[in-house]
Amino acid sequence: MTAETIDGKAFAATLRGKVGDQARAFEAAAGRQAGLAVVLVGEDPASQIYVRSKGKATLEAGMASFEHKLAADTPEAELLALVDALNADPAVDGILVQLPLPPHMNEAKVIATIDPDKDVDGFTVVNAGRLATGLHGFVPCTPLGCLMLLKDRLGDLAGLDAVVIGRSNIVGKPMAQLLLKESCTVTVAHSRTRDLADVVRRADIVVAAVGRPAMVTGDWLKPGATVIDVGINRVPGAEPGKTKLVGDVDFPSASTVAGAITPVPGGVGPMTIACLLRNTLVAAQRRAGVRGTEI
């Protein structure tokens, strides 16, 4: 048995195309482009790459991109003032503050300052509460992308057993809430879960988001399970001094047991930016009172 590889890159390209079509329709109806503001504090290399890719994708989707780059030693009060200004800016529909922030800044305080209706990352307590209670809000982009891939592969998820490995506010907890909303039976597992392999082995759906390279092996999986690997880990490559990206799932062994599995790279990663664009478009439509097709 060889698992089907779930092509997140192809799915994300299709999603970005749909967002682009609706972004053009929004511009025609509203007389302006939907706008995403991204704030980067400091010069973290990975964050710089993410911000560049997000800006490029925003423009390609026919939306306005507003980038704000602040020095690493910028006072927290200055960042908070910038967020307040973006909250009040009618051209800005979505606000994303790139994490991590420098140590002297309180990430929770900064995120709490973002207008929940412009919080396209879905990180504010208000949007977390909306998700938990079934209200309309913004869902963090990575778990939203995972859910889209699962529904595309499996259709109706009702009644399936799902295990989410990881309990972060960014992926694990919202992923569990999304699966509950789809009427799955959900277990949230983590580093202190007893007999973790046995817990995972009974799942029809496994979402691995724990940040440990190749932790989930094939013998942990129920035959035919659908596996979504959120992990992005750099490990030594075959050549000295080189590194490679691997997930939280050991792909070679897992792919001999699973029914379908996302690769790393090329699985969940491309979906995150595509869902960010989708959330920005939805924010713009809601703010302008423009109806769009559900994406």
pLDDT digits (tens, 9 = 90+) for 58-115: 999 999 999 999 999 999 999 999 999 999 999 999 999 999 999 999 999 999 999 9
- Does 211 share its domain with 162? yes
pLDDT at residue number 294: 84
What percentage of residues in the chain have a pLDDT greater than 70? 100
pLDDT in tens, 143-186: 999 999 999 999 999 999 999 999 999 999 999 999 999 999 99
Which of 82, 117, 152 is the C-terminal boundary of a domain?
117
Say if 18 falls within a structural domain: no
Return the residue matching tokens 């140590």: 103
* Res. 289: pLDDT tops 90: yes
User: How many whole angstroms separate alpha carbon 199 and alpha carbon 180?
Assistant: 17
Distance in angstroms (rounded) separating the CA atoms of residues 151 and 112: 31
Of 80, 101, 117, the residue at which a domain comes to its end is 117
pLDDT digits (tens, 9 = 90+) for 175-223: 999 999 999 999 999 989 999 999 999 999 999 999 999 999 999 999 9
What's the total number of domains in the chain?
2
User: Does pLDDT of 1 surpass 80?
Assistant: no
Cβ proximity of 58 and 94 under 8 Å: no
Distance CA 30, CA 9 (A): 31
Whether 112 and 146 map to the same domain: the answer is no
> Does the pLDDT value for residue 9 go beyond 90?
yes
On whether residue 44 sits in a domain, the answer given is yes
Q: Under 8 Å CB-to-CB from 213, ≥6 apart: which residues?
A: 231, 233, 235, 246, 247, 248
| Same domain, residue pair 265 and 201 | yes
Residues assigned a catalytic role: 54, 98, 121
**Which of 85, 102, 117 is the endpoint of a domain?**
117
Instruction: Quote the domain boundaries for residue 41.
Output: 30-117
Question: Does 281 fall in a domain?
Answer: no
Is 282 a domain residue?
A: no
Domain annotation covers residue 219: yes
**45-60 and 8-30 helices cross at what angle (nearest 10)?**
60
pLDDT computed for residue 104 by the predictor: 97
Residue 290 lies in a domain: no
